[in-house]
Amino acid sequence: MRDELKQRVYEANMLLPKYGLITFTWGNVSEREGDIVAIKPSGVEYDMLRQEDIVLVDLEGKVLEGALHPSSDLDTHLELYRNFESISGITHTHSEWATAWAQAGLDIPACGTTHADYIYGDVPCTRGLTSDEIREDYELNTGRVIVETFRELDAAAIPCVLVKNHGPFTWGKSAAESVHNAVVLEQAAKMAFVARELQGSGPERISQSLLDKHYLRKHGKNAYYGQER
């Protein structure tokens, strides 16, 4: 079982270069199974990464298996797993369009059905961390500020966030689904940028009925997209 978990996390990490979401080692994917989290090791190049390099830790970050240091963003992942019960996979990248929105400190408005098919509302951008939050336990505090941002939001319905001046985190029911959502977010970020430039003051948001329709035709008990019904 641990080997299968590592294999899934290895494969999900390798999707990042495939989808053009990654430069050098600027990203990492993890998956939780029960109380075990498998995550990419820190600073290892993607074309050097092997299944056996994936590090296993418990939910407090204690290394259970693996010779390498886990990703320096581990504490952010763990804070999300501890707080968002519905999620079992997390992806962090510096993908360029989503990161640019994070640098601008702006939410990405839901203005099209591509967005609505996967993300049930605007993509929130966190507040900036305070100097204190940055100085000590920075990665843990990054997780905390994400959790704070979702106080009134449903992490199962909005599977992504922008950390201000940093970049996106996305999640899902598996490592693979969290990468899928990272691809969706990057496309949504690019198209929202172009639409905003075209409209001057930013695009009108999609109507609530259209948002409902698209999100719900792909998710939930009345979904009718795809082959499973």
Q: Is 153 in the site for a copy of itself (CB under 8 A)?
A: no
**Residues tagged active-site:** 117, 225
H/E stretch holding 36 reads strand 36-39
In the complex, minimum distance from the CB of residue 191 to a copy of itself, in angstroms, rounded to a whole number: 5
Q: Is 140 in the site for a copy of itself (CB under 8 A)?
A: no
Side-by-side strand order, sheet with 63-65: 63-65, 55-58, 36-39, 27-33, 89-93, 167-172, 160-163
Local structure of 31: helix, strand or coil? strand
In the complex, minimum distance from the CB of residue 1 to a copy of itself, in angstroms, rounded to a whole number: 26
Q: Is 65 in the site for a copy of itself (CB under 8 A)?
A: no
Local structure of 196: helix, strand or coil? helix
Q: Is 148 in the site for a copy of itself (CB under 8 A)?
A: no
34 Cβ neighbours under 8 A, 6+ residues apart: none
H/E stretch holding 56 reads strand 55-58
Burial class (CB in 10 A: 0-12, 13-18, 19+), 140: middle
Stretch binding a copy of itself (CB under 8 A), from 1-9, 10-18, 168-176, 183-191: 183-191
Amino acid at 26: W
Q: Is 46 in the site for a copy of itself (CB under 8 A)?
A: no
In the complex, minimum distance from the CB of residue 46 to a copy of itself, in angstroms, rounded to a whole number: 14
Q: Is 69 in the site for a copy of itself (CB under 8 A)?
A: yes
**Other residues' Cβ atoms within 10 Å of the Cβ of residue 223:** 13
Q: Is 72 in the site for a copy of itself (CB under 8 A)?
A: yes
Backbone angles phi, psi at 12, to 5 degrees: -65, -40
Q: Which residue lies nearer to a copy of itself by CB, 85 or 209?
A: 209
In angstroms, rounded to a whole number, what is the distance separating the alpha carbons of residues 129 and 140?
11
Stretch binding a copy of itself (CB under 8 A), from 7-15, 148-156, 169-177, 197-205: 197-205
Q: Is 20 in the site for a copy of itself (CB under 8 A)?
A: no
Binding site for a copy of itself (CB under 8 A): 23-26, 41-44, 68-69, 72, 94, 96-97, 99-106, 111-114, 117, 128-129, 131, 134-135, 138, 165-167, 180, 183-184, 187, 190-199, 203-204, 206-207, 209-210, 212-213, 217, 224-227, 229
